[in-house]
Amino acid sequence: MTSPLATPRIRIPRQVRAGETFEVRTLIEHPMETGLRQDGPRPIPRDLLNRLTVRVNGDIALQAELRNGTSANPFHTFFLRLDRTSDITFTWTDERGRTAQATSRVQVG
């Protein structure tokens, strides 16, 4: 309960051309425990990330609901297109409201 969420990893280009489609990859280490597994006689407590939100200059570009079918260390790949230099903010939230966040600036030019 006490440990903070891991530092996320982001792979995103620093610079793109306007209107160019580019790939973004994210990875966050997290056990994604469903609460259904046992460690011997003891149940392993449920511990799940439930959301990834990607904002471009504050506007939501992508929102993913994560559930108990999402594998450990969730990995997401998606594509973006920008027409101006933007700050991309990635936010993971767990079921207890803890968050991990990363921001990347992508230059358009």
Least distance from other proteins to the Cβ atom of residue 72, Å = 7
Q: How far does Cα 10 stand from its chain's mean position?
A: 9
Kindly indicate which of the ranges 34-42, 47-55, 62-70, 71-79 contains the residues binding other proteins, using the contact rule CB under 8 A.
71-79
Residue 75 within binding range of other proteins, rule CB under 8 A: yes
Residue 27 within binding range of other proteins, rule CB under 8 A: yes
Residue 103 host element (H or E)? strand 99-108
Residue 7 within binding range of other proteins, rule CB under 8 A: no
Rounded-to-integer distance, Cα 23 and Cα 85, Å? 16
Please tell me the total number of residues recorded for the chain in this structure. 109
Residue 78 within binding range of other proteins, rule CB under 8 A: no
CA proximity to 80, closest of 9, 27, 16, 23: 23
84 burial level (CB within 10 Å; 0-12, 13-18, 19+): exposed
The only residue of 71, 79, 97, 109 in contact with other proteins, by rule CB under 8 A:
71
- In the range 29-48, which residues lie near other proteins by CB under 8 A? 29
Name which of 14 and 42 has its Cβ closer to other proteins: 14
Q: Which residues bind other proteins (CB under 8 A)?
A: 9-11, 25, 27, 29, 71-73, 75
